[in-house]
Structure 1
Amino acid sequence: MTYTLTTKAVRGGLLAAAALLAVGAAPAPATAQESRVSDWLYLSVIRGDARSSDTSGTLLMCDPPQGHRRAAEACTQLDAVHGDISRMPLKHAYCTMVHAPVTVHARGQWRGQPVDYRQTFSNDCEMEARTGAVFALDG
C-alpha cells in the first residue's frame, strides 16, 4: 500500500514539474531590440544584360546598420516603408535617358515578414530615384 502511494506521489510530482517547465518554456514576446536583429536583406545589383553583366551584392543588417557605405540611411528608409521597397517615395531627380539597365534584387526579412523584391531600371539614376540608398552598394 505504501508503494502505491509513493508511485502516485512521484507521478503527481513529475506532472507538476512538467507543467511548470512547459509554462516557463513559453517564448516571451519579442522586444523592439530583438525584432531589429531579424531585419536583414541580401541585396544584389546587376548592371548590363545577362551575357555581360557586372554583379555586386551584400548583406544589409540594421542593428547596428552595416553592409554597405549608406547602411544607416538605407535602414532608416526601409523603416519608413516597413521594409516594402516598392512603397519607397520617388525622389525627384533629373536622369539622362541613357539606357544602361540595372536589375536589383532584395531578399530576406523585415519585422518577421519575408521580403522578395526584384526590379529592372533603365539606369543607375532611375534606380536610386526609386529605391533611395538601399541599393547604393558601390563607392
Structure 2
Amino acid sequence: MTRITEALRGALTVAAALLTTAAAPAPATSQQAVPGSWLHLTVTPGEVSTHALPPPRAPFRTEGVPGTGIGSPGTGIPGTGIGSPGTGDGMHGTRGALLLCDPPQGHPHAARACAELVAAEGDIDRIPDRPGALCPMIYAPVTAAARGAWDGRPVTYTHTFANSCAMGAATGAVFALE
C-alpha cells in the first residue's frame, strides 16, 4: 500500500509542477508582436491582383529562443522570425523583405526607406517622385505591395508600375529590395 501511495504522491508532484510551468507567463523574448512601424514589402514581376497577395503577418521578436536559429548571424533578418529577405531568385520571382523602422532593419536600404516613410507619414503615395529620373519606355510591369502597420495604423498598398525604374522613381528606397 505504501508503494501505491508514494507513486500517487510523486505523480501529483509532477502534475503540480507541470501546471505551474504552464501557467507561468512566457519570457519577454518569445513571440511578442514587434511594436512600432513595420511593413512587409513584396515586388512581383507582372500584374498581380490584390487578392493574390498574402495576408499581412505581424513580425515577432524571437531573439534568444533556443533552437530557432533566428537572431543569429547569417540567418536573414535578425530577430524578426523571418528566415531570409527574399522569396525569389531576384530576377524571375517575387522578392520580399520585412522593413522594421525602430531601429531600421530587415531591408537592404532600411535607414533610407524608413526616413522616406517618416517624411511621408507612412503613406507610400506621398513619397515624392525622384527628380530627374529618366526611365526607359519599356513595358515590363512590376507590382509593388506593402502591408503592415505605421504608428499603429494599418497600411495596405498595391500598385503596378510600367517597369522597375518607374517604381523606384515613385517610391524611393521603399521597394529597392536588391
Q: CA deviation at 1:47?
A: 1.3
Residue matched to 1:129: 169
Q: CA deviation at 1:49?
A: 4.9
Q: CA deviation at 1:54?
A: 1.7
Larger Rg: 1
Per-residue CA deviation, residues 103-136 of structure 1 (Å, 9 max, x unaligned), is: 0100001011110000000001100000000001
Q: Distance in 1 between matches of 2:125 and 2:102?
A: 22
TM superposition outliers: structure 1 runs of 4+ over 2 Å: none
Residue matched to 2:159: 119
- Given that 2:47 and 2:160 are in contact with CA atoms closer than 8 Å, whether structure 1 keeps it comes out as no
CA RMSD of aligned residues (A): 1.5
Residue matched to 1:14: none
Q: Runs of 5+ in structure 2 lacking a partner?
A: 1-33, 49-91
Aligned match of 1:55 in 94, 97, 108?
94
Residue matched to 1:67: 106
Per-residue CA deviation, residues 32-63 of structure 1 (Å, 9 max, x unaligned), is: xxxx941000000001356xx62011110011
The residue identity in structure 1 corresponding to 2:38 is: W
Q: Which structure features the higher share of strand residues?
A: 1
| Residue correspondence of structure 1 range 1-139 to structure 2 within 5 A | 37-49=35-47, 54-92=93-131, 93-138=133-178
- Given that 1:45 and 1:104 are in contact with CA atoms closer than 8 Å, whether structure 2 keeps it comes out as yes
Per-residue CA deviation, residues 1-25 of structure 1 (Å, 9 max, x unaligned), is: xxxxxxxxxxxxxxxxxxxxxxxxx
The residue identity in structure 2 corresponding to 1:69 is: P
- What TM-score do the two structures reach when normalised by structure 1? 0.69
Aligned residues: 101
Q: Which structure features the higher share of helix residues?
A: 1
Q: Distance in 1 between matches of 2:101 and 2:36?
A: 9
Secondary structure of 1:54 counterpart: coil
- Given that 2:39 and 2:146 are in contact with CA atoms closer than 8 Å, whether structure 1 keeps it comes out as yes
Q: CA deviation at 1:102?
A: 0.6
The percentage of counterpart residues that share the same residue type is: 54
Q: Distance in 2 between matches of 1:49 and 1:82?
A: 27
Q: Distance in 2 between matches of 1:134 and 1:48?
A: 19
